[in-house]
Amino acid sequence: MGSTQERVVAVILVGGPTKGTRFRPLSLNIPKPLFPLAGQPMVHHPISACKRIPHLVQIYLIGFYEEREFLLYVSSISNELKVPVRYLREDKPHGSAGGLYNFRDFIMEDNPSNIVMLNCDVCCSFPLPDLLEAHKRYGGMGTILVSKVSAESANQFGELVADPVTNELLHYAEKPETFVSDRINCGVYIFTPDIFSAIQGVSNERKDRATMRRVSSFEALQSATKTLPTDFVRLDQDILSPLAGKKQLYTYETLDFWEQIKTPGMSLRCSALYLSQFRYTYPHLLASGDGTKSATIIGDVYIHPSAKVHPLAKIGPNVSISANARIGAGVRLISCIILDDVEVKEHALVIHSIVGWKSSIGRWSRVEGGGDYTAKLGITILGEAVTVEDEVVVKNCIVLPNKTLNVRVQEEIIL
């Protein structure tokens, strides 16, 4: 194949077991990127969005989880999408840019003209074909997907300033202490292969600085603890910040939804966003029913084909029910994620909650959260194999795996 032919490789950063700690207890059982949102693993949403990129030849997932954790998923999604998807395991975390650089030889095997790079823990409509078009028009080394957020929340993200006419990135500050801008980095990028030279440059600079440092052994010991390893390169602080204003990076603003998925509460919110997107993208995945032959369905609901839902249950909106779950007569489910093998017995109510694998909710019980997705106890989370006995109320709690609850609990973390 000639090098002038357009080819695109997509890379999704999935992190590893030491990342995503705010997602506990749900990430105790499953790597966070495989946690289901709208019935599909979190990473499935960016992967299926990549399928819409013209000239896409390969998708890589890069992380430092064990290979076996992704084996099954990667082989089934490759078959389903008819695009090769491969998991590449780092021996240790190299940072968001270092991870990409570490596998440059694999990525360049296909001789891509552009590399799409995505954080797996963002939820958006992934307007990748439009982003790619904009990137080609700008002609820079990289283009960043940008979203407008409230001024109060902007400091949780990478804030940036762009030229209103050319869209060039002029200034970038990762989680700044003082307000810079309400435009933030969405964690979705397109780069030309020149990104590898930029990462190599940062790494070389670090090596040079380390060699040139002429300090006493005490100072050397002190600075060694502060200095990052030469092969650990962060995309935001080490690449985007220094390259801003140098006519190499550009921005493309999306007006669609965008959220970050750092906590279980946000996974419930993002599950709702993906379910509502299914109306336009995959309507066949949404359940329907009016209570005659199957349960009454309200709003956007996903039910795995192997789940058994009694016709006298009422489900929705924003409910996703995973494999082999059993939902009894008279059950009411609102805004919740019911994971594999859960049983919800007759007349129980679950609202603003995530119910962990193999858990059981007793008859006439209530498992509920207040519905503030950003608060620590804003939703109720039951870890794996939790039993809520009959007629018990659980409100705004996080319950670790294998607990049995037989009395009312409220605003508690049950260890």
Instruction: Give strand pairing partners of 184.
Output: 147, 159
Task: Find the shortest distance in angstroms from Cβ 25 to ligand GTP.
Answer: 18
Task: Find the shortest distance in angstroms from Cβ 30 to ligand GTP.
Answer: 14
The DSSP element (H or E) to which 406 belongs, if any, is none
Tell me whether residue 119 or residue 365 sits nearer to ligand GTP (CB atom).
Answer: 119
Task: Find the shortest distance in angstroms from Cβ 46 to ligand GTP.
Answer: 10
Identify the burial level of 342 via C-beta atoms within 10 angstroms of its C-beta, where 0-12 means exposed, 13-18 middle and 19 or more buried: buried
Tell me whether residue 135 or residue 262 sits nearer to ligand GTP (CB atom).
Answer: 262
Task: Find the shortest distance in angstroms from Cβ 280 to ligand GTP.
Answer: 25
195-212 vs 95-102: helix axis angle to the nearest 10?
Answer: 110
- Return residues touching ligand GTP (CB under 6 A): 13-15, 19, 62-64, 90, 93-96, 99, 119-121, 187, 262
Tell me whether residue 374 or residue 402 sits nearer to ligand GTP (CB atom).
Answer: 374
Tell me whether residue 229 or residue 371 sits nearer to ligand GTP (CB atom).
Answer: 229
Neighbours of 323 (CB within 10 A): 15
Residue nearest to ligand GTP (CB): 15
Task: Find the shortest distance in angstroms from Cβ 260 to ligand GTP.
Answer: 6
Q: Would you say 278 and 293 are in contact if contact means Cβ atoms under 8 Å apart?
A: no
Neighbours of 209 (CB within 10 A): 12
Tell me whether residue 119 or residue 318 sits nearer to ligand GTP (CB atom).
Answer: 119
Tell me whether residue 121 or residue 343 sits nearer to ligand GTP (CB atom).
Answer: 121
Integer Cα distance of 71 and 66 in angstroms: 9
Task: Find the shortest distance in angstroms from Cβ 125 to ligand GTP.
Answer: 18
Integer Cα distance of 163 and 4 in angstroms: 30
The DSSP element (H or E) to which 267 belongs, if any, is helix 264-281
Question: DSSP of 300-341, one letter per residue?
Answer: SEEE-TT-EE-TT-EE-SSEEE-TT-EE-TT-EEEEEEE-TT
